[in-house]
């Protein structure tokens, strides 16, 4: 195909004919759903693991949970997310009639949790021990001190890293097609297989990802400015 020689016809054949553009919109919807719920799972589990790890580092408690957390982090961080996705779908859930979207959410969420945990743990460990002592002087137990004093301070410090992890997760979902889930990337690939032309559908996929990443980055920058402004205030 002469890409720029007959662009209107190429666009029409690639996206308008047989409503092929719906592969992109439907795939985008799947990508956003998987990303949204995987982020929630990753954040919740990651914060819990970070608290276990930080508690053990601070006072030596929760030794058993810390051991399992370390094993989990080692395995998840040491293997590719696409392999984890395939193991979940073709081995763990091989005999279970489970929705592919749910498998993707679990795989990407569990993977993200390992990275979130280390980010949050580093944020907690960066808070001075005097803050724990201040909580104790106010009559707060360890849990309340962690929730009300430590985590809010740590969150401001680790926000850029957490936001970057969310962006990485969004891009990692592009391998969901390995389990035949029609996400954004798979939608573009289906168009390519029908038109026998790769340029326009794959460029469209890349542009959509780029727009989403730029939007998320802008939102995070805005939030960071608000947090900095509230600190000065």
pLDDT tens, residue by residue, 106-132: 999 999 999 999 999 999 888 888 887
The reply to whether 110 falls in a domain is: yes
* CA–CA distance, 188 with 206 (Å, rounded to integer): 10
The reply to whether 142 falls in a domain is: yes
pLDDT at 4: 56
With a pLDDT cut of 70, the percent of the chain lying above it is 97
pLDDT band of residue 86 (cuts 50, 70, 90) is: very high
pTM (whole model) above 0.85: yes
Our CA dihedral for 100, 102, 103, 105, rounded to 10 degrees, sits at 120
Our CA dihedral for 62, 67, 69, 72, rounded to 10 degrees, sits at -170
The reply to whether 192 falls in a domain is: yes
Q: What CATH number does the domain containing 189 carry?
A: 1.10.3720.10
The reply to whether 51 falls in a domain is: yes
Reference 46, options 82, 84, 76, 78; nearest CA is: 76
Who wins on pLDDT, 221 or 233? 221
Q: How far apart are the first and last CA of the chain?
A: 59
The helix (H) or strand (E) run that includes residue 104 is helix 100-125
pLDDT at 231: 66
The reply to whether 2 falls in a domain is: no
C-alpha atoms less than 13 angstroms from C-alpha of 187 in its C-beta half-sphere: 24
pLDDT at 70: 97
Domains of the chain: total = 1
Mean pLDDT of the chain: 91
**Domain range for 180:** 7-232
| pLDDT 10s digits, 25-81 | 999 999 999 999 999 999 999 999 999 999 998 888 889 999 999 999 999 999 999
H helices present in 126-198, as ranges: 129-137, 142-145, 151-172, 184-195
* CA–CA distance, 59 with 90 (Å, rounded to integer): 41
* Helices 21-59 and 63-77, axial angle in degrees (round to 10): 140
User: How many helical (H) and strand (E) elements, i.e. helices and strands, does the chain have?
Assistant: 10, 0
Let me know if 131 is exposed, middle or buried by CB neighbors in 10 A (0-12, 13-18, 19+).
middle
Who wins on pLDDT, 157 or 77? 77
The reply to whether 1 falls in a domain is: no
pLDDT at 147: 85
Angle, CA of 38, 39 and 41, to the nearest 5°: 65
Our CA dihedral for 91, 97, 102, 108, rounded to 10 degrees, sits at 10
């Amino acid at each position: 195909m002469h890409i720029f020689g007959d662009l209107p016809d190429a666009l029409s054949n690639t996206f308008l004919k047989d409503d092929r553009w719906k592969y992109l919109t439907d795939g985008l919807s799947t990508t956003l759903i998987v990303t949204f719920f995987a982020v929630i799972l990753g954040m919740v589990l990651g914060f819990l693991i970070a608290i276990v790890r930080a508690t053990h580092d601070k006072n030596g408690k929760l030794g058993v949970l810390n051991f399992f957390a370390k094993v989990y982090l080692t395995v998840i961080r040491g293997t590719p997310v696409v392999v984890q996705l395939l193991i979940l779908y073709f081995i763990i859930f091989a005999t279970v009639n489970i929705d592919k979207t749910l498998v993707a959410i679990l795989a990407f969420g569990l993977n993200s949790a390992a990275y979130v945990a280390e980010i949050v743990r580093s944020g907690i460990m960066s808070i001075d021990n005097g803050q724990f002592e201040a909580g104790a002087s106010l009559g707060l137990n360890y849990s309340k001190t962690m929730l009300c004093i430590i985590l809010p301070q740590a969150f401001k410090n680790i926000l850029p890293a957490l936001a970057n992890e969310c962006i990485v997760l969004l891009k990692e979902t592009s391998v969901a097609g390995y389990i035949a889930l029609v996400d954004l990337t798979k939608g573009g690939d289906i168009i390519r297989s029908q038109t026998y032309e790769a340029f326009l559908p794959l460029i469209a996929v890349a542009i959509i990802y780029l727009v989403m990443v730029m939007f998320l980055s802008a939102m995070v920058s805005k939030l960071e400015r608000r947090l900095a402004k509230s600190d000065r205030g």
